[in-house]
Structure 1
Amino acid sequence: MSPNRFALRRSPALPAAAVLSLAALLVTAAPAAQATGTATGAAVVAAAPDIPLANVKAHLTQLQSIATANGGNRAHGRPGYKASIDYVKAKLDAAGYTTSLQQFTSGGATGYNLIADWPGGDANKVLMAGAHLDSVSSGAGINDNGSGSAAVLETALAVSRAQLAPDKHLRFAWWGAEELGLVGSRYYVNNLPSTERSKLSGYLNFDMIGSPNAGYFVYDDDPVIEKTFKDYYAGLSIPTEIETEGDGRSDHAPFKNVGIPVGGLFSGADYTKTAAQAQKWGGTAGQSFDRCYHSSCDNTSNINDTALDRNSDAIAHAIWTLSAGTGEPPTGEGVFSNAADVAVPDNGAAVTSSIAVTGRTGNAPAALQVGVDIKHTWRGDVVVDLVAPDGTAYRLKNSSSGDSADNVITTYTVDASSETANGTWKLRVQDVASQDTGYIDSWKLTF
């Protein structure tokens, strides 16, 4: 996972411009444009196979051997990275994939993305999954991100073993130079013609899925992808949390920025596991999810087998489920969003962002989902309301002087059953204290 996207901490001297990171540009208005699969069709989708943990770990052993033989790492521009690409490509070529290497330059060194297409499926509806293959220079990068790379590889090989014939076209990718700022994935997206971008029905990202003190985090992005992963873990009676630690710090960001629906899984990096998280997931409270993050000890001993196994199976489940069907939303569901940035002034007046809801019948649901992404360096300063078309305000979040964390990235549930669904809904945000600033990045309503 790229290190250059950490949230900024409170500092009176911090310039407001430093708060702003790359804005996420989501597809707006049309519900179908946000959806990537159909949850209602899952009952008729062939069950995904179990992904053998032994196979995934065998890939990790090979990546470790490659690093050991090449100066201890698999970093961009180093021989260990090219050897890693060659290893993955050979496996895919033998399994019947059409593979291609995409070259780019970063820091004066040649980098590589590996793209693998499975034959068949609707070429106008492409489901893509990927992981970054490079490590930092200080270690072999077995959890970050050998874990995601190996699981995506083994899922692709499972597609070949099953001779899967999905409705959508399947494409897998392994990215270079993620650790230098998402360089490889940005290069791919920026050089993808708009006609090809429009064919991508979704991109699934897997960056660090075997953390030794693991958590089970699901990206809060496209609602159908998110629901696919949440439903899978609910079936295992494993609670999940929305992933906020790495938001924008991995290879889904370039796709999200051009309006492609994204989602993924994450098992945690250098943030500390809370007591509540340890109670529901096991592991050690007060310790980071991965104590070897970006360190030389990120080797084959730095893997939680249970988390790696579960997440690998979840990847296969998502590929099998989301590649089937028409790509329309679940019956009766609509998603409306606004990704235009709105600056929130420091200790200033409230600002609003609007969404026009159309095509619905009757009233809004009793469990209206309000997904918000507000970037802010001290979220305790922030008050958030949902304003219905008739002007009724529903308080989503109060200010709290003790809440010193960054950003408000979560989904609220509102009983809006007394409100007419169609009309202009507003997200109202106010900063009620001084020294910090931020902006509304995006928000969405899911009916």
Structure 2
Amino acid sequence: MRSVRFMFDFRKFAYAGVTVALTATLAVTGLTHADAAQAPAPAVAAPPVITATVPMAHLSKLMEFAAASSNTRVIGSAGFTATVSYLQAQLAGLGWTTTVQNFTVRGKKAANVVAEWPYGDAGHVVMAGAHSDSVAAGPGINDDGSGVAALLANAAAITQSNLRPAKRIRFGFWGAEEQGDVGSSYYVSHLAGGEAAKIDAYLNFDMVGNKVENGKAVGWSLYAEGQSNGLNAPFQSYFAAQGITVNPSLDTDDRSDHAAFKNAGVDVTGVSSVRSLNELGACYHKACDNLTDVDQNSMVLASNAIANAVWSLAG
């Protein structure tokens, strides 16, 4: 989650010092559409339970990339480049259609990775996202490796379940969030005409791995926008089943990647493992935002809350 807000409008190219150039690469592996048409579609009543093993393994890899890059995954660094390559390889290997959008911010290379599960009505999209970059001061394992790892765990669960949803499922991994939500804004502003209207929901996951601090249980919040559009309901039902009371109206001040979608008229919400923006954690935007800054129980809760919502919203 970024701490500084920037005024930026890609449509007017008014962000000083930013140049953008789109390079898309497509990699699809696994079942072909012909194969899928012949394969029986299993009936899935509920998502599988995601354990800590998968998201924590992804976080360990992100930490490796940062450790080999002066303890950072900031855009323009080797740590960020390795993160993007890892995302693309993992998602393509799971049979998701993956697209990489390359752009530059103040002369530094950045990229989005967008992955789509190639089943369901493409005219109705349930989209979820997390930012893949860190600040220069640290590795960004909670902010926001936690969101990235939880989404990757969900991508694997969808593949392993051979899910055939009614709606299309799409995940976005945004670059340069810490520079002012640049990657998500770039994505939304470069959607073809009418494509934004096909996104029924955008769900944002920024900082979902907070550990217990000072003996206090981690707090969970849902974005305030989700109260009015109904998107908070599947998250609330999941946390209620775990005996967890959530703050249903976190005011993010549009300080994350949901803002670009919200401004484009898309219904949005999100989940964060904080009660308010005044409780972002002792290692927020610091060098100590490493694996010790993440609680594996929080990662289990976040990953399964996402699964509950995506399964429900995608039909």
Q: TM-score, normalised by structure 1?
A: 0.59
**In the alignment, which residue of structure 2 is the partner of 1:96?**
95
Aligned 8 A contact 2:128 2:204 in 1: yes
1:308 aligns with 2:299: yes
Give per-residue Cα distances to partners, 1:339-389, cap 9 Å, x unaligned: xxxxxxxxxxxxxxxxxxxxxxxxxxxxxxxxxxxxxxxxxxxxxxxxxxx
Q: CA deviation at 1:199?
A: 0.8
Query: SS of the counterpart of 1:194?
Result: coil
**In the alignment, which residue of structure 1 is the partner of 2:3?**
3
Q: Distance in 1 between matches of 2:57 and 2:183?
A: 25
Kindly tell me: are residues 151 and 196 of structure 1, through their superposed partners in 2, closer, same or farther at Cα, counting changes over 3 Å?
same
Q: CA deviation at 1:82?
A: 1.0
2:242 to 210, 219, 236: 236
Aligned 8 A contact 1:127 1:170 in 2: yes
Q: CA deviation at 1:268?
A: 2.3
For residue 253 of structure 2, what is the amino acid of its counterpart? D
Q: CA deviation at 1:244?
A: 2.8
1:347-386 equivalent positions in 2, closer than 5 A: none
Q: Distance in 2 between matches of 1:271 and 1:189?
A: 25
1:194 aligns with 2:185: no
Query: SS of the counterpart of 2:232?
Result: helix
Query: SS of the counterpart of 1:195?
Result: coil
1:254 aligns with 2:245: no
Kindly tell me: are residues 185 and 230 of structure 1, through their superposed partners in 2, closer, same or farther at Cα, counting changes over 3 Å?
same
Q: CA deviation at 1:123?
A: 0.8
Aligned 8 A contact 2:44 2:161 in 1: no
Structure 1 or 2: larger helix share? 2
Unmatched segments (≥5 aa) in structure 2? 7-42, 213-217
**In the alignment, which residue of structure 2 is the partner of 1:221?**
225
Identity level (%): 43
Instruction: Give me the CA root mean square deviation.
Output: 1.7
Aligned 8 A contact 2:62 2:145 in 1: yes
Unmatched segments (≥5 aa) in structure 1? 7-43, 273-287, 325-447
Kindly tell me: are residues 270 and 301 of structure 1, through their superposed partners in 2, closer, same or farther at Cα, counting changes over 3 Å?
farther
Give per-residue Cα distances to partners, 1:82-130, cap 9 Å, x unaligned: 1001111111111111101001121111210001111110010011111
Q: Distance in 2 between matches of 1:210 and 1:173?
A: 19
Aligned 8 A contact 1:121 1:167 in 2: yes
Q: Distance in 2 between matches of 1:93 and 1:253?
A: 27
Give per-residue Cα distances to partners, 1:236-268, cap 9 Å, x unaligned: 221010343523000000000111011110012
Aligned 8 A contact 1:128 1:203 in 2: yes
For residue 260 of structure 1, what is the amino acid of its counterpart? V
2:272 to 266, 270, 274: 266
Q: CA deviation at 1:193?
A: 2.1
Q: CA deviation at 1:290?
A: 1.3
1:62-211 equivalent positions in 2, closer than 5 A: 62-211=61-210
Aligned 8 A contact 1:269 1:290 in 2: no
Q: Distance in 2 between matches of 1:52 and 1:137?
A: 31
Q: Distance in 2 between matches of 1:271 and 1:157?
A: 31
For residue 239 of structure 1, what is the amino acid of its counterpart? T
Q: Distance in 2 between matches of 1:243 and 1:78?
A: 35
Q: Distance in 2 between matches of 1:302 and 1:86?
A: 24
Kindly tell me: are residues 270 and 240 of structure 1, through their superposed partners in 2, closer, same or farther at Cα, counting changes over 3 Å?
closer
Kindly tell me: are residues 98 and 121 of structure 1, through their superposed partners in 2, closer, same or farther at Cα, counting changes over 3 Å?
same
Aligned 8 A contact 2:130 2:173 in 1: yes
Q: Distance in 2 between matches of 1:226 and 1:75?
A: 31
Kindly tell me: are residues 320 and 246 of structure 1, through their superposed partners in 2, closer, same or farther at Cα, counting changes over 3 Å?
same
For residue 296 of structure 2, what is the amino acid of its counterpart? D
For residue 302 of structure 1, what is the amino acid of its counterpart? D
Q: Distance in 1 between matches of 2:153 and 2:60?
A: 14
Q: TM-score, normalised by structure 2?
A: 0.83
Give per-residue Cα distances to partners, 1:14-72, cap 9 Å, x unaligned: xxxxxxxxxxxxxxxxxxxxxxxxxxxxxx97211111211100000000001001121
- Structure number, greater radius of gyration: 1
Q: Distance in 1 between matches of 2:168 and 2:186?
A: 22
**In the alignment, which residue of structure 1 is the partner of 2:12?**
none
Structure 1 or 2: larger strand share? 1
